[in-house]
Structure 1
Amino acid sequence: MALEAGSFDAIGAYYSITHVPPAQQGPLIQKIARWLKPGGVFVGSFGTGASGEWTGEWLGTTMFFGHNAEAETLKHLSDAGLTVRRSAIERQDNEEASFLWIEAAKNT
């Protein structure tokens, strides 16, 4: 889908980017930054731990999962012109999974 630059005040991506191959996450973050208006906010979650990808069963179906290490994710955000305002690693309730939660703003 083609979206115009500066189209959105805010973009949220919860538990979705973890289904994008790690090598494609940086370019996706670049697109998200481009779609935001100056000062626009991005809130999203990313996988944690060493970079990796795998396919597993979840919610009764086979799904792809992947993530970059936290430092690489933060570098992708910075390289895209996003300033991280808040970040936290939170463990998912009733699961072993942890997620890096980010609130970032597009530089003006």
Structure 2
Amino acid sequence: MTNERAIVEQGYDAMADAYLDYVDQTTGDPRLRFLDQLLARLQPGSQVVDLGCGAGIPCTARLAEQHNVLGIDISTEQLRRAQDRIPSARFTKADIATVELPPHTFDAVTAFYSLTHIPRVEHADVLRRIAGWLKADGYLLATLSARGDTDGRQDDFVGVPMYFSGYGPDTNLRLLHEAGFDPVINEIVTMNEPGGESSFQWLLGRKRG
């Protein structure tokens, strides 16, 4: 496992309780608004992968109300909590950048604040791999960096070291298109986290048929 992966895995294992408090204290988080945009486009019983599902709340749980969900995360502790909360979903411990899934199987893939934990040099490949898992006209809903200079370790994120990486919005949009997606939603949103303001690019892409 690379050092970046180890930082992310160990960090989310260690801060499981603290991270939920951190999310609760954040204002202006639009994830449920964008999730509703995706849900409106899916038929009940759709096959959905949630990459970086964490403890399963709120998004994995919302998805599992009507759909067949596979949650994937690198953190053992986060997955344990997700499995306890959402017995109707399936969960797998894996690196979301390298996990192997069957092609042309899924109706949607979600990645809420998880792709920013993968080295940005791998983003193009990850997006192509996601496109390969999706059926024709399937959807990807992802959060990506809104900054162009993110690539490295942060010493204190919710009390633990953490790794973040990402490009800027123009590059993200280009990589999405090159992977085979047409953008349906492309929006930059700033929210207020306990440590200050943070901006992310939200992309809902539809796989070209």
Q: Give the TM-score range, shorter chain.
A: over 0.9
Shift of 1:54: 2.0
Shift of 1:79: 0.5
SS at match of 1:93: strand
Cα deviation code 1:12-62 (max 9, x no counterpart) = 000000100110111101111111110101101001122431211212210
2:138 maps to which of 21, 24, 40: 40
Residue matched to 1:74? 173
Structure 2: how far apart are the matches of 1:51 and 1:79? 21
1:30 maps to which of 119, 128, 136: 128
Matched, 1:7 2:105: yes
Shift of 1:83: 0.4
How many pairs are equivalent?
Answer: 108
Identity of aligned residues (%): 27
- TM-score, normalised on structure 2? 0.50
Which structure dedicates a bigger proportion of its chain to helix? 2
SS at match of 2:128: helix
Contact 1:22–1:51 (Cα < 8 Å) also in 2: no
Contact 1:40–1:105 (Cα < 8 Å) also in 2: yes
Q: Which consecutive aligned stretches of 4+ in structure 1 deviate over 3 angstroms post-superposition?
A: none
Q: How does 1:29-108 map to 2 (within 5 A)?
A: 29-56=127-154, 57-94=156-193, 95-108=196-209
Give the number of the structure whose alpha-carbon radius of gyration is greater: 2
RMSD between aligned residues: 1.1
Residue matched to 2:61? none
Structure 1: how far apart are the matches of 2:166 and 2:159? 21
Structure 2: how far apart are the matches of 1:47 and 1:2? 25
Which structure dedicates a bigger proportion of its chain to strand? 1
AA aligned opposite 2:198 = A
Unaligned stretches of 5+ in structure 2? 1-98
- TM-score, normalised on structure 1? 0.94
Shift of 1:93: 2.2
Q: Which has the higher contact order (CA 8 A, sep 6+)?
A: 1
Matched, 1:20 2:85: no
Unaligned stretches of 5+ in structure 1? none
Structure 2: how far apart are the matches of 1:61 and 1:6? 38
Shift of 1:80: 0.8
